Structure 1
């Protein structure tokens, strides 16, 4: 069966974004190439950072507009990650709070891509 196994994020500066993701994920990329870096998010899913000016076909002038979600966490994890990201000067768009779907906060990477950390309350979906 077809299963997506990666997300590729277009960035302005791969080195800057690689440094950023290394800090917030707490580990370096598993592979780097000119204009590209690969982070293993779990055993079956990777995050790729691609220089927007180096992709074929050419990326549109506006890129971004997506949210990378880290939702396999507890409420305490949300608070700990928030505290760590604040110390790393991650731009925070939404302070930790309870929303309809769970306890969450949102930060931004250097290109403005949203990074949501969320302890999802799935009890409402069962």
Structure 2
């Protein structure tokens, strides 16, 4: 029997409240569970202590037995220091698509060309100014 540590929704319409439960993977989300080990109230502010409540001893027991947390519960356990979470499963998922990357490359190239042209124009403008005093000195 596979066991999950997951959220079971409670609360009324548009006022969510979740219980963190130990349940069989085949049980429905809000249905039968083995044990209630915590609570999560997303309506509270993120810095409120009552937002997430965990029974750490029972969670440690169930993790040692082989229960697997869902992604959201894994985040809670990582924040509580009970379980280490890997950074990201797919770091390339957040990158733009091919066409968007091509447009960004073209834009960067145009900016680099404009900066190079501006630097060259500034160098040319400075060069005649340096040559002018030499020519005036030669004319005198």
TM-score normalised according to structure 2 size: 0.26
Q: Per chain length, whose mean CA-contact separation is higher, i.e. which structure has more relative contact order (CA < 8 Å, sep 6+)?
A: 1
Q: Which has the larger radius of gyration?
A: 2
Larger helix proportion, structure 1 or 2? 2
More strand per residue: 1 or 2? 1
